[in-house]
Amino acid sequence: MSIFGKMRDAIFGKKAVPSQSQVTPGQTPAGQSPTGQANPAPQLQPTAPAQHVDVEQVLSRIASEKGNPDLHYKTSIADLMKLLDLDSSLENRKELATELGYAGDKDGSADMNIWLHKEVMKQLAAHGGKMPASLAD
């Protein structure tokens, strides 16, 4: 999985889509009641977010759950990656830069890191993230 994909999943969450063919002991197959009568098929959860995910709220919750570590995830790509329990090494940031189409030198410069943070926020918004101006800039 791509580094951005891991970031997106950490923020949006992964929703498993139950298969109608999976039945655990004590359950009846989808479409049947315990008495064998037909029931309407259950609604399955989509894998993509049905509504916008409030990115700022999710990141704040993660930070709070971790005891509010001294991370500047709202402006730093390395700190954002650390908050999401991802390796923030230069090698991984270079890989992320390649994934997202960064055209400059992949040397870990401030320009590259600032661009990465802004682009990750843009991509999160494009994938269903509700992005406040403070994170989108």
Long-range Cβ pairs for the range 54-61 (8 Å, 24+): 54/129, 54/130, 55/11, 55/121, 55/124, 55/125, 55/129, 55/130, 55/131, 55/132, 55/135, 56/130, 56/131, 56/132, 56/134, 56/135, 58/11, 58/12, 59/11, 59/83
Kindly list the domain boundaries of the chain, sorted by start residue: 3-15+45-136
Q: Is the pTM of this model over 0.75?
A: no
Q: Which of 29, 7, 36, 2 is nearest to 117 (CA)?
A: 7
The tens place of each residue's pLDDT in the chain, 137 residues long, gives 899 999 999 999 875 333 333 333 444 444 444 445 444 443 333 345 445 899 999 999 999 999 988 999 999 999 999 999 999 999 999 999 999 999 999 999 999 999 999 999 999 999 999 988 777 76
Q: Locate tokens 């230069």: which residue?
A: 90
Number of C-alpha atoms within 13 angstroms, CB side, residue 116? 30
State how far the Cα of 117 lies from the Cα of 54, in Å rounded to an integer: 17
How many Cβ atoms are within 10 Å of 103's Cβ, its own excluded? 7
Longest dimension (CA), the chain: 66
